[in-house]
């Protein structure tokens, strides 16, 4: 299965009746599909549902700042969500919806073969490594099928905190870990291919 095939298949997905009724569109993902870094958020919000691009609203602005703080841009990553459709009134995704979107994310990872996966918030972290408690585990490195996984605090939590500068500093530190790890993984790959 190729990237475009997977995308076309899921752009017309109708596995979750309630989400199909309420969504404007399926938000498959954006960025560089050949990137070494895959970011996984929770679910599209209102701006994402309108524009069809993950993290294009307020949380996205914070995310862009975090990426820029370590010299990365949206072209250096691919970004998607645990589920591809906006839940009504931004409620949490249900277990069933996460499960309905599971093979899509598994297949995306299989196709992209990223070196690093960044899970944004508890839902994505639970989905990929079966762990929650983001306040304790953010910035630590986990393994998922030989891919390095780094959970990070969701930018929405930073917004809810009233833009707490200490929290933002911690979030930037986690992005430094991500950038260093991606660099290390790419250097290793180049070494083996040399
Ligand atoms: N929050 C998410 O988790 N994903 C988005 O795409 C936007 C906001």
At 1 the pLDDT is: 80
Cβ atoms of 3 and 11 within 8 Å: the answer is: no
Closest C-alpha among 141, 159, 143 to residue 151 = 141
How large is the average pLDDT for residues 145-171? 98
For residues 140 and 150, give the distance between their C-alpha atoms in angstroms, rounded to a whole number. Answer: 6
Q: Whose CA is nearest to atom 7 of ligand 1?
A: 55
Residue 41 CA, closest ligand 1 atom number = 3
Q: What is the CA(122)–ligand 1 centre distance, in A?
A: 12
Q: What is the CA(48)–ligand 1 centre distance, in A?
A: 7
Q: Which residue has the tokens 């870094």?
A: 37
Q: Quick: pLDDT tens for 64-90.
A: 999 999 999 999 999 999 999 999 999
Q: What is the CA(192)–ligand 1 centre distance, in A?
A: 36
Predicted confidence band at 110 (pLDDT cuts at 50, 70, 90)? very high
What is this structure's pTM? 0.96
Residue 42 CA, closest ligand 1 atom number = 3
Residue 82 CA, closest ligand 1 atom number = 3
Ligand 1 site residues, Cβ closer than 6 angstroms: 41-45, 48, 54-55, 59, 81
Q: Which of 19, 24, 31, 44 to mutate to test the pocket of ligand 1 (most atoms within 8 A of CB)?
A: 44
| The pair of three-digit structure tokens given for residue 67, joined into one six-digit string | 């990426």
For residues 47 and 52, give the distance between their C-alpha atoms in angstroms, rounded to a whole number. Answer: 8
Cβ atoms of 33 and 113 within 8 Å: the answer is: no
111 pLDDT above the threshold of 60: yes
27 pLDDT above the threshold of 80: yes
Using left for φ > 0, alpha for ψ between -120 and 50, and beta otherwise, residue 80 falls in beta
């Amino acid at each position: 299965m190729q990237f475009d095939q997977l995308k076309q298949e899921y752009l017309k997905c109708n596995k979750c009746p309630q989400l199909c009724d309420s969504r404007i569109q399926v938000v498959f993902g954006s960025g560089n599909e050949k990137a070494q870094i895959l970011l996984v958020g929770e679910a599209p919000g209102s701006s994402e549902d309108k524009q069809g691009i993950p993290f294009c609203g307020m949380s996205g602005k914070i995310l862009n700042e975090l990426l820029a703080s370590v010299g990365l841009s949206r072209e250096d990553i691919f970004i998607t969500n645990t589920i591809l459709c906006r839940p009504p009134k931004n409620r949490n995704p249900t277990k069933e919806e996460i499960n309905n979107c599971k093979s899509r994310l598994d297949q995306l990872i299989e196709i992209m073969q990223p070196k690093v996966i960044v899970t944004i918030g508890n839902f994505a972290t639970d989905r990929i490594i079966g762990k929650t408690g983001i306040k304790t585990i953010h910035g630590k490195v986990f393994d998922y099928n030989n891919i390095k996984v780094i959970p990070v605090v969701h930018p929405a939590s930073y917004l809810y905190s009233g833009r707490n500068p200490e929290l933002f500093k911690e979030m930037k530190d986690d992005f430094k870990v991500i950038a260093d790890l991606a660099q290390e993984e790419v250097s290793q790959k180049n070494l083996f291919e040399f």
